[in-house]
Amino acid sequence: MKLSVKRTVIGQALAMSVCLTNSTLATDARIDVSQIITKTDAESILGEKVKDPTPLNAEGKDGYYSKCNYYGVSRQKSLVIRVYQPGAGAMDPQKELELVAASTSGPLKPVDGLGDKAEVFSGADDSGAASHVLMLYVAKGNAFITIGLGGINDESVALAKAKKVADKILAKL
């Protein structure tokens, strides 16, 4: 093999290696959910002004967490968003979803068209108040997303809003 051909083959192999490495890093990109779903977005979703959030992004022993809570000023509505990206050796998002399903007080229903697998829980809280809670769980690749909506009593409206939030987050993963 001539030297120039050998260099070309090695160069192509190195370029492919860099591309594969970059695509692997991109799939595990660390996100900030408060930058994806802003305070303005939360106000639109909840239909009222929200208090200033206190987002948190942290690398833990078992992986990366990004979370943000939006609470309506009336204190009747809320939007809670969590993204967990497990580190090496931590629990797979699919397994995480199975554990959530097993520990939820009511049955989860499958949601088609979101991530690798998505399920939703919906119901009224135990206080007897008219407040309604919807929890959407999405496993996608190396990410586990939780979206909670409180105070939106129409389940189909709440699910549609939660799906839009999930879609925006999934687009950044």
pLDDT at 69: 97
pLDDT at 132: 86
pLDDT in tens, 103-162: 887 789 999 999 999 999 998 655 544 468 999 999 999 999 999 999 998 999 999 999
| pTM attached to this predicted model | 0.79
CATH code of 49's domain: 3.40.1000.70
* Selection from 6, 29, 25 nearest residue 17 by Cα: 25
The owner of tokens 């554990």 is 99
Indicate if 1 and 84 belong to the same structural domain: no
H or E stretch including 148?
A: strand 143-150
Indicate if 24 and 35 belong to the same structural domain: no
Task: Give dist(CA 148, CA 42) in Å, integer.
Answer: 12
Q: Domain containing 101: what range?
A: 31-170
Indicate if 102 and 114 belong to the same structural domain: yes
Indicate if 54 and 14 belong to the same structural domain: no
pLDDT in tens, 86-96: 998 888 899 99
Residue 171, Cβ density class (10 Å: 0-12 exposed, 13-18 middle, ≥19 buried): exposed
Q: How many residues are there in the chain?
A: 173
Indicate if 161 and 110 belong to the same structural domain: yes
Indicate if 22 and 38 belong to the same structural domain: no
